[in-house]
Amino acid sequence: MTEHNEWFFPCGMLSEGVWESAVDSSLPGWQHTGLRVAQLDGGAAELPAGDVERIVVPLSGSFAVEHEGRSTRLAGRASVFDGPTDVLYVGAGEGLVVRGSGRVAVAEAPTTIRKPSVHIAADDVPVELRGAGADSRQVHNFGTPAALDAASLIVCEVITPGGNWSSHPAHKHDENVPGHESRLEEIYYFEVAPVRGGSAPEDADAFATFATYSSAAGDIETNALVRSGDIALVPFGYHGPAVAPPEYDLYYLNVMAGPDEERVWLVSDDPRQAWLRDTWAELDTDPRLPYRTDTTTQGATR
């Protein structure tokens, strides 16, 4: 019998040293992806060299990353709702030290394949406006196969404006069906904030919702109110929707990797919900998007 919300972890539940949250293969049933999140106030967070590739993602603030005998400056951003940030990919076999002030995430995947490290500027991050109408959301594809030459990692982040739905229709990627579906573990890291221009007080309890449910690959059930810093893991099964209440904007960072030889993100919609995509052709993209500060949107797709 599946335990309700067994793959959902409120902020701080996975703390480890300087890391507010640490996801890795020490968690039972988890093996292909990792994520570490820290709040630094001028301090440092260190990760050793090993058979693991990483992407350093400033959530808020700016940082310097020491790696391979040099230091890379990440300009970062004010918050996750201020458009894309620059990121740093550090290939397997290299350790790193992150220094600075703000919140930082480090996505991970174990691999013995060595790829060169690379700094991706915010202006070079592909920005996708996905869906339409109330299903509109903004995707920053800095760690997808088209944007980054990594070994296993597939990483992106999504902004869902208040009142909108994302990870919708519900879909899965837990079978190897060449050309149709790939096997990928997935991590969702969430942040939530009052909508731009809204009237919510500073101490408002910002939240959103997230769901998963079972597929032939295994039993899973998540029906959670999510708040900033919470993490949901998806080892298998259908996942979605992620829904933002009208008063709050929703952000999540997705980290994916899996056992298949090809690094590709291919999904199967729940056949009972796949029809929803057909409705987007007659709807406009939410005019509030894109959420950006100083870069230019690259084409929208549906």
Residues 56, 117 contacting (CB under 8 angstroms) = no
Summarised one tens digit per residue, pLDDT across range 107-150 is 999 999 999 999 999 999 999 999 999 999 999 999 999 999 99
Indicate if the pLDDT at residue 4 is higher than 80: yes
What average pLDDT is seen over the chain? 95
Summarised one tens digit per residue, pLDDT across range 46-58 is 999 999 999 999 9
**Full residue range of the structural domain in which residue 103 is found:** 8-275
In a domain, 289, yes or no: no
- At residue 94, the pLDDT reads 97
- At residue 295, the pLDDT reads 40
CATH number of the CATH domain containing 42: 2.60.120.10
CA 109 to chain centroid: 14
Other Cβ atoms less than 10 A from the Cβ of 272: the count is 10
In a domain, 1, yes or no: no
- At residue 1, the pLDDT reads 58
- At residue 199, the pLDDT reads 84
- At residue 298, the pLDDT reads 37
In a domain, 33, yes or no: yes
In a domain, 230, yes or no: yes
Angle at 255 between CA 243 and CA 111, to 5 degrees: 165
In a domain, 302, yes or no: no
Residues 34, 255 contacting (CB under 8 angstroms) = yes
Residues 166, 250 contacting (CB under 8 angstroms) = yes
Peptide bond before residue 241 is cis, with ω within 30 degrees of 0: yes
Q: Retrieve residue 202's tokens.
A: 């500073």
Q: How many domains, in total, are found in the chain? A: 1
| Residues with Cβ within 8 Å of residue 293, at least 6 apart in sequence | 77, 78, 82, 83
DSSP sequence for 191-247: EEEEPTT----TT----EEEEEEEETTEEEEEEEEE-TT-EEEESSSEEEEEE--TT
- At residue 302, the pLDDT reads 30
Summarised one tens digit per residue, pLDDT across range 217-256 is 999 999 999 999 999 999 999 999 999 999 999 999 999 9
* Cα dist from 298 to 7, 140, 185, whole Å: 35, 10, 28
- At residue 264, the pLDDT reads 98
- At residue 299, the pLDDT reads 36
Residues 187, 210 contacting (CB under 8 angstroms) = no
Q: How far apart are CA 162 and CA 288, in angstroms?
A: 10
Q: How far apart are CA 238 and CA 219, in angstroms?
A: 10
For residue 129, which amino acid is it? L
Q: How far apart are CA 150 and CA 31, in angstroms?
A: 18
In a domain, 250, yes or no: yes
Residues 133, 254 contacting (CB under 8 angstroms) = no
Summarised one tens digit per residue, pLDDT across range 52-80 is 999 999 999 999 999 999 999 999 999 99
In a domain, 217, yes or no: yes
Peptide bond before residue 271 is cis, with ω within 30 degrees of 0: no
Summarised one tens digit per residue, pLDDT across range 162-208 is 999 999 999 999 999 999 999 999 999 999 999 987 888 878 999 99
Indicate if the pLDDT at residue 3 is higher than 90: no
In a domain, 285, yes or no: no
